[in-house]
Amino acid sequence: MASKLICFVAVLCALQHVQASAVQKRSIIDDIKSEVEKVAQEAQQKAADAVSEVSSLWDQIKSKVSEVISSASANLNAKAQEAKDKIQEVVSAAKQIGANIGTCVSEGLEEVNSVNSLAYEDLQTCVKSAEAPLEPLKADIANLADQSEQLVKDIPADLSSCKRASVLQLPEQLSCYVEVGNTYLSKGLLMVSSIAYDLSEFKTQLEEASQKIVKCGTDEVGEALKKYKDISESVQTCVFNGPSTE
């Protein structure tokens, strides 16, 4: 489409300097109007298609986010409970030998809850950061769709302005149509190109975001597991050896 439009624009520019009959000039004007409207409508259609596709892809990534958060949260809660159970096992063992539990257990349980809460917050932050690059592209495509609709609306009035000016002779009318045609063809070409670029970039960023979101879940759960293990070991040391004096 790009090469076709470029050729058409070049022809329009050349036509301003060509000696043609009135019939030929009217035919050229009709061609200009037809081509301009076609290009604008194509830009509008491509924008609408892009918005629809992006909306579908956006729903998919949001579904992925919900899935990862739900799965990771369930995993975090389960592992937190396992850590608490291990602490209770330490308590039972300590009671059998008469060890002084003191504040070791309560502090350990509080730490487990704190780790679980912070891991969930970090997960939310990580996921939001992963999907952030998609938002401006989504907004830009929606903006291009609005612009394409306005482009289609503006064309009839701007083209008609060339004809409404009764003082203009046919050559001047042709020159006016060429100028308006060039403007809208350039806008249409740029719009189509921008839509294609943004859509391609959105898909690329979507793939990266999807991978990062999954990694957010695995990383946060993995990090929490290490902390749960450390807390359990710390409680055990505290119960049997006494609280640290550090």
- Predicted pLDDT of residue 196: 93
Tokens of 37: 């409207």
Residue 14: inside a domain, yes or no?
yes
pTM of the entire predicted model: 0.75
Q: Which two tokens stand for residue 102?
A: 């003191």
- The answer to whether residue 67 sits within a structural domain is yes
- How many structural domains comprise the chain? 1
pLDDT of residue 26: 76
pLDDT-derived band at 20 (thresholds 50, 70, 90) equals low
Structure confidence at residue 57 as a pLDDT band (50, 70, 90): very high
pLDDT of residue 98: 62
Report the run of H or E that residue 114 belongs to, with start and end. helix 104-131
DSSP-derived secondary structure letter, 215: H
Nearest to 192 by CA among 145, 160, 228, 125: 145
Does 53 reside within a domain?
A: yes
CA–CA dist 177, 131 (Å, integer): 45
Give me the percent of the chain exceeding a pLDDT of 70. 83
Q: Is residue 244 part of a domain?
A: no
Cβ 182 vs Cβ 13: under 8 Å: yes
Q: What is the CATH number of the domain that holds 52?
A: 1.20.1270
Evaluate whether 183 touches 36 at the Cβ level (below 8 Å): no
Q: Hey, CA dihedral for 145, 146, 147, 151, is it positive or negative?
A: positive
Residue 245 maps to a domain: no
Three-class secondary structure of residue 78 per DSSP: helix
**Candidate from 11-20, 167-176, 207-216 with smallest mean pLDDT:** 11-20
Tokens of 12: 């329009």
Q: Is the residue at 156 inside a domain?
A: yes
Whether 243 maps to a domain, the answer reads: no
In a domain, 246, yes or no: no
CA separation for the pair 225, 229 (Å, rounded): 6
Q: At which residue do the structure tokens 């409207």 appear?
A: 37
Number of helices and strands in the chain (H, E):
5, 0
Task: List all residues 6 or more positions away from 112 whose beta carbon is below 8 Å from its beta carbon.
Answer: 80, 83, 84, 87, 228, 231
The whole-angstrom separation of Cα 153 and Cα 43 is 13
13 compared with 179, residue with greater pLDDT: 179
Burial of 179 (0-12, 13-18, 19+ CB in 10 A): middle
> What is the span of the domain harbouring residue 119?
2-96+103-238
Query: How far apart are the C-alpha atoms of 148 and 154, rounded to whole Å?
Result: 10
